[in-house]
């Protein structure tokens, strides 16, 4: 098995949750020691940690920290308000809500009745740790399925993979989703090169994906987002792999702004286009992508670059954090339970998730 990245985005140390501050990367590796739910919330809102699976895992830590140092057992109403506050940190990635639902059920069933807050904290922290390891394990399985699928789809060649945003160890609890597949392709000698979209305006590609690739000697080249379609036209892209923030029941999915444009360009050029996600990122309560809440962030993040305003003071900006890819542009969906191929539609997705959700709970 190929080795994991040495990068760890977050971890528990004693009773503190340690977070690598991604706003400082790649220049500095600065770690923050978080001790309360509100500090975790701030880190998510400010994007000191980000990426759908990592936001979910961090929310489990934030929920556990509600019990740290409490003198009395934490009452249901107090815990409910902590979860509501964490759940409102960012709107698009469904993992945040999924993990908080899980922590709430765990609290109701096993924690609420504990005699002391210390016992409660120990149980909640252990559950948070399990959630972190579980994500790591899912990523390894996704990567293996992704590599096997690509070996079948595009045999006998080293691949030139284009990716968007950051979906690696810094967006998850290790290895990554789309970047996890890329990491494993590299380890198997099947990767020619990664095209890394810089991912305006937060530059998760140029700052974070390139950082992960550079740390591990993965051959990569950073491009402006607007270069991607032209590289496809020139025959320099074999496959596009992306992460997912929320996938609806019909396969429409939200991901970092710019993903939709990539899907259109890949479709036009006949290039395979695949999202890579854990089942946790499906939201089967919504029929299609029109129901996904798209985060809108401050326009300063777009109009100010390196501390300097780049547009006239009178200009406003529109900073949508995500867009939605329609399912008909998706070639296949890579998950920890295998690859959904053929028609990407509601029937196929419901059958697949029903079969494997049972396995997941076992
Ligand atoms: O705004 P971000 O950086 O949290 O957005 C991240 C993405 O869009 C990722 O592609 C997605 O969360 C999947 S991460 C495995």
Of all helices (H) and strands (E), which one includes residue 223? strand 220-223
Q: Are residues 344 and 229 in the same domain?
A: yes
Q: Are residues 179 and 302 in the same domain?
A: yes
- For the domain that residue 32 is a member of, what is the CATH number? 1.20.120.420
Q: Are residues 83 and 164 in the same domain?
A: no
pLDDT band (50, 70, 90) for residue 359? low
Percent of the chain with pLDDT strictly greater than 70: 97
Nearest protein CA to atom 8 of ligand 1, as residue: 256
Q: How far is the CA of 76 from the centre of ligand 1 (A)?
A: 31
Q: Are residues 95 and 178 in the same domain?
A: no
Contacts of 241 (CB under 8 A, 6+ apart): 146, 161, 162, 163, 178, 181, 182, 274, 275, 276, 334
- For the domain that residue 157 is a member of, what is the CATH number? 3.40.50.10470
256 lines ligand 1 (CB under 6 A): yes
Residue 4 inside a domain? The answer is no
Q: State which of 135, 167, 195 marks the end of a domain.
A: 135
The single-letter DSSP state of residue 333 is: E
Of all helices (H) and strands (E), which one includes residue 228? helix 228-233
Distance of CA 78 to the CA centre of its chain: 29
277: tokens are: 């996600």
Q: Are residues 92 and 228 in the same domain?
A: no
How many domains is the chain partitioned into structurally?
2
pLDDT at site 360: 66
Q: How far is the CA of 264 from the centre of ligand 1 (A)?
A: 19
Q: Are residues 233 and 330 in the same domain?
A: yes
Q: State which of 79, 111, 135 marks the end of a domain.
A: 135
pLDDT at site 6: 73
pLDDT digits (tens, 9 = 90+) for 261-297: 999 999 999 999 999 999 999 999 999 999 999 999 9
Q: How far is the CA of 134 from the centre of ligand 1 (A)?
A: 18
Q: State which of 107, 135, 163 marks the end of a domain.
A: 135
Q: Are residues 145 and 127 in the same domain?
A: no
Res 348 pLDDT > 60 = yes
Active site residue 245: yes
128 lines ligand 1 (CB under 6 A): no
- Greater pLDDT, 300 or 1: 300
**Residues spanned by the domain of 170:** 141-361
Q: How far is the CA of 259 from the centre of ligand 1 (A)?
A: 11
Among 44, 165, 199, say which to mutate for ligand 1: greatest number of ligand atoms within 8 Å of CB: 165
245 lines ligand 1 (CB under 6 A): yes
Q: Point out the ligand 1 atom lying closest to the alpha carbon of residue 50.
A: 4
Residue 1 inside a domain? The answer is no
Among 244, 257, 281, 323, say which to mutate for ligand 1: greatest number of ligand atoms within 8 Å of CB: 244
Q: Are residues 256 and 153 in the same domain?
A: yes
Residue 261 inside a domain? The answer is yes
Q: Which residue in 238, 245, 283, 323 is the catalytic one?
A: 245
Q: Are residues 50 and 67 in the same domain?
A: yes
Q: Are residues 165 and 237 in the same domain?
A: yes
pLDDT digits (tens, 9 = 90+) for 212-259: 999 999 999 999 999 999 999 999 999 999 999 999 999 999 999 999
Res 1 pLDDT > 70 = no
Res 361 pLDDT > 60 = no
Res 51 pLDDT > 80 = yes
Contacts of 101 (CB under 8 A, 6+ apart): none
């Amino acid at each position: 098995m190929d080795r994991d990245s040495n990068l760890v985005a977050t971890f528990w140390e004693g009773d503190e949750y340690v977070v690598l501050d991604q706003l400082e990367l790649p220049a500095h590796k600065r770690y923050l020691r978080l001790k309360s739910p509100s500090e975790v919330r701030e880190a998510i809102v400010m994007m000191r940690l980000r990426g759908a699976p990592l936001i979910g895992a961090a929310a489990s830590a934030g929920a556990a920290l509600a019990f740290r140092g409490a003198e009395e057992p934490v009452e249901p109403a107090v815990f409910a308000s902590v979860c509501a506050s964490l759940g409102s940190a960012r709107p698009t990635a469904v993992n945040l809500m999924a993990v908080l639902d899980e922590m709430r059920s765990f609290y109701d069933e096993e924690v609420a009745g504990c005699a002391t807050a210390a016992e409660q904290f120990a149980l909640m922290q252990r559950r948070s740790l399990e959630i972190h390891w579980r994500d790591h394990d899912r990523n390894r399985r996704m990567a293996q399925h992704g590599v096997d699928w690509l070996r079948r789809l595009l045999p006998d060649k080293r691949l030139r993979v284009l990716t968007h945003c950051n979906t690696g160890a810094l967006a998850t609890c290790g290895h990554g989703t789309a970047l996890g597949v890329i990491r494993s392709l590299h380890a198997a000698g099947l990767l020619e090169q990664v095209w890394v979209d810089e991912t305006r305006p937060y530059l998760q590609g140029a700052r974070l994906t390139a950082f992960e690739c550079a740390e591990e000697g993965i051959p990569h080249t950073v491009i402006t987002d607007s270069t991607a379609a032209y590289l496809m036209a020139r025959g320099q892209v074999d496959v596009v792999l992306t992460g997912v923030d929320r996938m609806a029941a019909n396969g429409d999915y939200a991901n970092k702004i710019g993903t939709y444009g990539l899907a259109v360009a890949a479709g036009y050029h006949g290039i395979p286009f695949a999202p890579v996600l854990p089942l946790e990122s499906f939201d089967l309560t919504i029929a299609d992508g029109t129901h996904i809440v798209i985060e809108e962030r401050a326009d300063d993040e777009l109009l100010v670059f390196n501390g300097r305003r780049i547009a006239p003071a009178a200009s406003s900006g529109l900073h949508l954090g995500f867009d939605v890819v329609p399912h008909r542009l998706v070639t296949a969906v890579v998950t920890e339970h295998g690859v959904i191929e053929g028609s990407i539609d509601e029937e196929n997705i419901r059958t697949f998730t029903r079969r494997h959700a049972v396995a997941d709970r076992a």
